[in-house]
Amino acid sequence: MTFASISIGPLTIRPAVLLAPMAGVTDYPFRTLCKEQGAGAVYSEFVSAHGIIRENRRTLEMIRFTEFERPIGIQIFGDDPEVMAQAAQKIVKRFAPDLIDINYGCPVPKVTKRGAGSAALKDLGLMDEITSAVVAAVTPIPVSVKMRAGWDSHSIVIPEAGPRLEARGAKAITLHPRTTVQDYSGKADWSLIRELKSAVSIPVIGNGDVQSAEDYFEMVKATGCDGVMIGRAALGNPWIFAEIKAALEGDPTPIARTLAQRAKMAQRHLALLTEFRGEKIGSQLIRKHLGWYFKGFPGALALRKSLVTAPDLDTIEQILKSLQSNQEGIS
């Protein structure tokens, strides 16, 4: 396969493998690591349109990015077309991202009970209004959407929602082919990505259950999608982008993840976190990532426990430095 690219409006993304927006994960440090490993584009954590309008400091910090991260999309959520439009316009004016992405996929009850996220799948009229309002507010910046297949298995909206989103100016659609009720359980139904691809002429990005370069190629072959978005498979594993990029360039060799390499990446992650949030908060935030970096090998449980329960930043750094002298291969 050639070195794949995807065009979203005037924006060209190469390679066509993107880091998914993930709450509490895709902050500046994690986006930077994935970009360094070859992600074609990255997305912010989803941010509240109301928080942007109120100029909430924490919300605005979640949007801040560096030039290195481009192309970058800022994902917003909300249930009011006017508020969403105003928020998108503020983001473009203040931060100038490469695209705005609308969240129609979050299944978390605290979001859906407000009518936002994947709750829009139960009201395609509201989805129409929000999409139209955001597109009008930020043109010529491209607007994409990320969505699920439907609220439940009895209300799959893909065949109708896709063309409606395209008609209202969306330049690309990312589909996670599970329902809201499924959450992240069961298997993603890739046939729904293929169905969406056949229903629209704008790019379709597949998302769900891609955990390797092999899975990337299988999804593209099975669905005809224009790009693939990686979410949970990147947790503790930013190397997945390097593997897919290398495979697209003709080298399908998996990247070895030695214990020393994991420790080096974790230390780099910790340094970015402390730079971004300070030593106290950075040392707290790294702990969940350490649980992801160090798993799947003998003795991993004890190692994770020592890292996650470390009393301070210095102790974490000492453990990580000592691990970098261990060259044992871990697959």
| Catalytic residue of the set 22, 39, 84, 106 | 106
The residue type at 261: Q
In sequence order, what DSSP letters do the residues of 142-211 get, joined into one string? -EEEEEEEESSTT-B-HHHHHHHHHHTT-SEEEEEEEETTTTT-S---HHHHHHHHHH-SS-EEEESS--
34 is catalytic: no
CA atoms within 13 A on the CB side of 134: 36
The dihedral sign for the CA sequence 118, 124, 125, 127:
positive
CA 328 to mean position of chain CA atoms: 31
Cα 224 to Cα 6: distance, rounded to the nearest angstrom: 13
Residue with tokens 């499924």: 182
Find out whether 61 and 72 touch, Cβ atoms under 8 Å.
no
Cα 118 to Cα 196: distance, rounded to the nearest angstrom: 17
Cα 7 to Cα 289: distance, rounded to the nearest angstrom: 32
Closest CA to 100 of 33, 168, 146: 146
Strand partners, 147: 104, 175
Cα dihedral 235→94→58→25 (10° resolution): 0
The residue type at 211: Q
Q: Which distant-in-sequence residues (6+ apart) come within 8 Å of 100 by Cβ?
A: 73, 74, 75, 76, 88, 91, 92, 134, 138, 141, 142, 143, 144
Find out whether 228 and 195 touch, Cβ atoms under 8 Å.
no
Residues labelled catalytic: 106
